[in-house]
Chains A and B, each alone.
Chain A
């Protein structure tokens, strides 16, 4: 009986080792892609704000 449990565990573990080796980390790849795209297209460097002082009408004559 105990041998059977061990056998079942091994049967689960051995193919899993193979699976882990070929497993493509889709979520990590998306994260990496986002980071690179943000860098290349400069989407997150604060440069998107043109810093327009648009509310200065009070100082006009």
Chain B
């Protein structure tokens, strides 16, 4: 009888720990993550026109890419390339930092995939996003 009780307790502990995990939030409020966010926020104002005119699109791996360099004047292209590069550096850092802040560096790829679909979901209409078969205008 005692052993049955013990096994029941073990089972209920197991169930509760699973519910606990399911409800847990990811830690995203570290100084490192905040700094990356601030930097991306500031850059967004400069990137937004390029999303809108199709020069830059959201890739399906959670980054951005120059989609149509011809959409910007020649003189702006170096700036555009620089912005895209900086943004991707920040995004990669962000995914890595979130994984590390939660004690699971191996989650980085899954976090990146999650972000990839959320960026695309939240993209404004008219922006270009990468689907399975290529670029799509939202």
Choose from A8, A25, A42 the contact partner of B7 (Cβ within 8 Å). Answer: A8
Contact assessment for B21 and A20 in the assembled complex, using a CB-CB cutoff below 8 Å: yes
Known: A8-B7, A40-B41, A42-B44. A29 touches B17 (CB 8 A): no
* Number of chain A residues whose Cβ lies closer than 8 Å to a Cβ of chain B: 33
A33 to B113, CA, bound (A): 10
Q: Taking each of B6, B40, B107, B118, which has the highest tally of chain A beta carbons within 10 Å of its own beta carbon?
A: B118
Contact assessment for B44 and A40 in the assembled complex, using a CB-CB cutoff below 8 Å: yes
Contacting residues of chain A (1-19) with chain B, CB-CB under 8 angstroms: 2-3, 5-6, 8-10, 12-13, 16
A21 to B84, CA, bound (A): 36
Contact assessment for A29 and B111 in the assembled complex, using a CB-CB cutoff below 8 Å: yes
B18 proximal to A (CB < 8 A)? yes
Contact assessment for A33 and B115 in the assembled complex, using a CB-CB cutoff below 8 Å: yes
B residues within 8 A CB of A35?
28
B4 proximal to A (CB < 8 A)? yes
A37 to B114, CA, bound (A): 12
B78 proximal to A (CB < 8 A)? no
Chain B 17-44 interface 0/1 with A at a Cβ cutoff of 8 Å (1 = within): 1100110111010000100010011001
Contact assessment for A41 and B3 in the assembled complex, using a CB-CB cutoff below 8 Å: no
B residues within 8 A CB of A58?
none
B94 proximal to A (CB < 8 A)? yes
A16 to chain B, nearest CB (A): 5
Q: Taking each of A23, A33, A42, which has the highest tally of chain B beta carbons within 10 Å of its own beta carbon?
A: A33
Measured CB to CB, the residues of B under 8 A from A are: 1, 3-4, 6-8, 10-11, 13-14, 17-18, 21-22, 24-26, 28, 33, 37, 40-41, 44, 94, 98, 104, 106-107, 110-111, 114-115, 118-119, 122
- Can you identify 16 A-B contacts, CB atoms within 8 angstroms? A5-B4, A9-B10, A9-B11, A24-B107, A26-B110, A27-B22, A29-B110, A29-B114, A30-B114, A32-B25, A32-B98, A37-B115, A40-B41, A40-B44, A42-B41, A43-B122
